[in-house]
Amino acid sequence: MRRILHCDMDCYYAAVHMRDDPTLGGRPVVVGGDPQGRGVVASASYEARRFGIRSAMPAAHALRLCPQVVFIRPDFSRYRRESDRIFAIYREYTPLVETLSLDEAYLDVTDHLERHGTATAVAREIRQRVREERRLTVSVGVGPNMLIAKIASDFRKPNGLTVVPPEKVQAFLDPLPVRRLHGVGPATEAALKELGIATVAELRSHPLAALLERFKSHGRMLHDFARGLDVRPVAAEHQRKSLGTETTYPRDLQDLGPMDEELGRMAEEVGDDLQRRQLAACTVTVKVRLDDFTTLTRSRTVQVPTQRPARIASLAHHLLRLTPAGRRRVRLLGVSASTLVPATLLQLELFEALGEADRPTSGEPAQET
């Protein structure tokens, strides 16, 4: 039986600024784009969330909800440096750390409990050290797999610890709304509601054949997750063949402007992650999930490997326009980098300065439906 931790920093971007600027203490803080333009919220303090402000919300709407909100432009270099220090703490407990973003990670501590005895003890110590050494808070979920640990980490935010022993997995899951399961967004939730399914317990009692008929291969995942089954391994850095980030939005995005800003934010995260790992990417992929749950990807392979957020963002903006985005509503966006090479190859970027910009070599972008 595995022991998995999911560590999720609390309102990370906003929390870093509030720690470093004492005048922000107790005030509603939003990190994001220009509220006078088409910016979106990247992070909101819990003081701001009390007004209904949420990530991915248009910044203008956030300002209407809370006119006294303090807007701060993102500083990804600062977030990356802080993330490096936090993740260094994680790696003192296990080498099996899977980075999901600058503020979120899975840790597999199954074979690294000699000093502490239990995964719960590890989680408590990690939370204490992050609080004392970095003056930030992290919520941690502990469970027998990634699915359970992820749900648990969100259970008592902020600054929470939720432990789900293997024998209590089903009792933990059954009363939850199906939306809490990984991979269940608004469209799947609505489709399940049409079948009379609102809770995990109701999903668990639904026949697998019926789920496969309605959701195809996605139905198998729903069937397994409703039973707390998740065999995905925690992928340490040396195992990664790609890295990326994606967001499912509480409200579908309709205009290209906010979508471009979201892709820019994700490109910053991916570029920072590549730099931290001393890697560069030859391929950039944009993932788009439409309002009817159709999922498309568009990829571009370039001659010159890159780790620069601006270059990744430029490619992502181009790839987005090869999809129906802007004509169709979008419920999920993602940016990923693959065909990773050592950053020592980045001297090739000299050619860009000489006018030899990254030229596509892969022909037509790939599509997945």
pLDDT attached to residue 358: 40
Residues in the chain: 369
Q: What is the pLDDT of residue 369?
A: 29
Instruction: Note the pLDDT of residue 132.
Output: 98
Say what the pTM is: 0.71
Question: Which pair of tokens denotes residue 81?
Answer: 């440096």
Q: What is the pLDDT at residue 257?
A: 93
DSSP symbols for 327-364: TB-EEEEEEEEEEEEEGGGGGGGHHHHTT----B-SSS
Question: For the chain, what percentages of helix, strand and coil (3-state, to nearest 5) are there?
Answer: 40, 25, 35
Q: For residues 255-265, b (16+ Cβ closer than 10 Å) or e, as one string?
A: ebbbbbbbbbb
**Dihedral angle sign, alpha carbons of residues 328, 290, 331, 241:** negative
Q: What angle do CA 199, 202, 207 make, to 5 degrees?
A: 140
What pLDDT does residue 305 have?
A: 85
Beta strand 41-44 with 29-32 is antiparallel
Which of 344, 337, 340 has the alpha carbon at shortest distance from 313?
337
282 in Cβ contact with 305 (< 8 Å): yes
Question: What pLDDT is attached to residue 366?
Answer: 41
Start-to-end CA span in the chain (Å): 35
Active site residues: 104
Q: Is the dihedral of CA 198, 204, 206, 209 positive or negative?
A: positive
Domains and CATH numbers, the chain: 4-11+76-169 (3.30.70.270), 13-72 (3.40.1170.60), 176-225 (1.10.150.20), 240-353 (3.30.1490.100)
CA distance 225 to 220: 9
Strand order in the sheet with 70-72: 41-44, 29-32, 70-72
Q: Give the residue among 136, 143, 150 at the shortest CA–CA distance from 104.
A: 150
Task: Identify the pLDDT of residue 96.
Answer: 95
Q: Could you count the other beta carbons within 10 Å of the beta carbon of residue 334? A: 21
The closest alpha carbon to 224, from 277, 196, 183, belongs to 183
34 CB-near residues (< 8 Å, 6+ apart): 59, 71
Which residues have a Cβ under 8 Å from the Cβ of 107 and sit 6 or more positions away? 4, 5, 6, 7, 90, 93, 94, 96, 97, 98, 122, 234
Q: Pairing state of beta strands 279-290 and 41-44? A: unpaired
Assign 3-class secondary structure to 112-151. CCCCCCCHHHHHHHHHHHHHHHHCCCEEEEEECCHHHHHH
Residue 23 token pair: 């005048």
Predicted pLDDT at 250: 83
Instruction: Check residue 348 and give its pLDDT.
Output: 40
Helix (H) or strand (E) holding 265: helix 256-277
Q: Average pLDDT by consecutive 10-residue portion of the chain (369 residues)?
A: 96 96 95 85 94 91 96 87 94 93 92 93 98 98 98 94 97 97 89 96 96 92 96 76 85 93 93 85 94 91 88 96 95 92 55 38 35
Q: Interior CA angle at 225 toward 224 and 227, to 5°?
A: 70
The pLDDT value given to residue 288: 96
In this prediction, residue 238 carries a pLDDT of: 53
